[in-house]
Chain A
Amino acid sequence: MIMELRKFKVRYGDNATWFNYPDIELEKGGCFVLMGKTGCGKTTLLNALFKHSFSGEVVYEKAKIVGNDWSEWGKNRYKFISYMPQYAQSGLNPSLTIGEQIDLVKRCCGVRSDERQQSYFEELGLRKEMTKRYPFEISGGMKQRIALLMGFIKKPQLFVLDEPSSALDYITLRKTVDFLKRRKEEGCAILMVSHHRGFAAGIADKMAVMREV
């Protein structure tokens, strides 16, 4: 089991309302999608679980991630987990070319070969020439796919995705669904937040729809 969450709830500040989350069980190669309206607390769950510094309060019965209790994981968790936050496209470094940024990620994760990068480029419908461009020279949808590719380069055991479908046209969405399915087949577990039901349904094994607080 890659991730198991039971009776997990989160709140910001003393008087704020608690966000209660559905129980999540995520096996190797599985995909769980959390849906719901803006403001219902979807991103808050991902922040509580995976953000470097989270200021809210967390209560749970069980929160096991890649074999350890959630609270025991330090920064070590990023060895096994990739997290693509919402608006990831604005997170690219404006002063480095796309190729330089991908190389930086590869170096940090100890990935030497170019093979995986090349096949990801093809699968996501990205052109090789793009590596020479700076983020401001490419479209939002392209940046979104580059951020996705960077997250998978280290072959994480768990990939957490927050709204990966925004800014993608339908043809690219279909390619992205196929791309994520292939990563699942390779054994990567995916936890995803999305408001795009059609996109999410293409990848999910389980979905939960959250109500507004």
Chain B
Amino acid sequence: MDLLLEAVGINKEFAGNNTVLKNVSLKVESGSIVALIGDSGGGKTTLCRVFTGLENVSSGKVLFKGKELGCLRRRSFEECASMQYIFQDPYAALEEESTVYSVLREPVSLCRKRRRDYMSPEDALDWVGLPVETFLKRKIKTLSGGQRQKIGIARALITRPDLIVADECTSMLDRQSSAEIGHIFKQLNQKIGLSFIIVTHDIHFLYRVVDYIYVLHEGVIVEAGPKERILNIPCADYTREYMESMREIEGGGLLEPDRLCQS
């Protein structure tokens, strides 16, 4: 498989001697779904922001399709359009008063202006499973969190990207909406070969959606490998603790009937 994105020795330091990423290197092959897991404050979001150009690196480089990427201002339209970002908070990422159509229309006109091939808003909505006739004219403020996040994905699809970076895009959604989004990602990956970097704490994503996992702890990649290996035979101490906690928390999901009320 071709190498789509490569991070080489990335260091990121914020003011006040606050080092968030320490010599981080990772590779994303074309057509793969890579997960970033780890502790909060461990640098996952910063790394995603580095990939998408929202944050500069202190040292190190990001290669996308073999070419070194600069910060957002130095990227070409093609480079920006090929890598799309899905935000964590679907309530903050979309304009409340806009209609679904105007949200999806914006990247279409940008692509037209630059003569880039694009996906129609109707096709994009079709991919995320929202009926065009019901949703195209609706205002964002009338949509639920799950529906808003699907619009966020549809918007990212318009430019026909090669890579989508999704930063905890399901953490604010209920389990069913989250599973639906996992299914959409998997379909996009299998049918059009779209690659993903997903920051997630969702067990469903780890077991059912991703192929490869990087574990980031205090700014360092402590372990990386195919998901089967990381989930079943974690080697690093941090990963072991993470998997133990995951099993303990998720194992508690079954309740005795006398603790469950009827609404």
| A and B form one complex | yes
User: Of residues A133, A196, A202, A208, which shows the largest number of chain B Cβ atoms within 10 Å of its Cβ?
Assistant: A196
- Name the interface residues of B82-114: CB closer than 8 Å to any CB of A: 88-89, 91-92
Collect the chain B residues with CB atoms within 8 Å of residue A20's CB.
263
**Number of chain B residues whose Cβ lies closer than 8 Å to a Cβ of chain A:** 43
A-B pairs with beta carbons under 8 A, tally: 120
Contact A207 B253 (CB under 8 A): no
Whether a CB of chain A sits under 8 angstroms from the CB of B146 is: yes
**Number of chain A residues whose Cβ lies closer than 8 Å to a Cβ of chain B:** 47
A201 CB contact (under 8 Å) in B42, B245, B255: B255
Contact B242 A169 (CB under 8 A): yes
Whether a CB of chain B sits under 8 angstroms from the CB of A182 is: no
Minimum CB–CB distance for B259 against chain A, Å: 6
Minimum CB–CB distance for B131 against chain A, Å: 17
Contact with B along A130-168 (1 / 0, CB 8 A): 001100011111101100000000000000000100111
A207 CB contact (under 8 Å) in B92, B174, B259: B259
Q: What separation, in Å, do the CA atoms of A196 and B249 have in the docked complex?
A: 9
Contact B92 A170 (CB under 8 A): no
Contact A90 B92 (CB under 8 A): yes
Whether a CB of chain A sits under 8 angstroms from the CB of B126 is: no
Whether a CB of chain A sits under 8 angstroms from the CB of B262 is: yes
Closest to B38 in A: A169
Whether a CB of chain B sits under 8 angstroms from the CB of A37 is: yes
Q: What separation, in Å, do the CA atoms of A207 and B258 have in the docked complex?
A: 9
Collect the chain B residues with CB atoms within 8 Å of residue A204's CB.
255, 259
A-binding residues in B (CB < 8 A): 14, 16, 18, 37-42, 45, 88-89, 91-92, 144-146, 168, 171-177, 201, 241-242, 245-246, 248-255, 259-263
Cβ-closest 5 pairs across A and B:
A141-B40, A195-B174, A139-B41, A170-B245, A198-B253
B-binding residues in A (CB < 8 A): 20-23, 36-39, 86-87, 90, 132-133, 137-142, 144-145, 163, 166-174, 177, 195-199, 201-202, 204-211
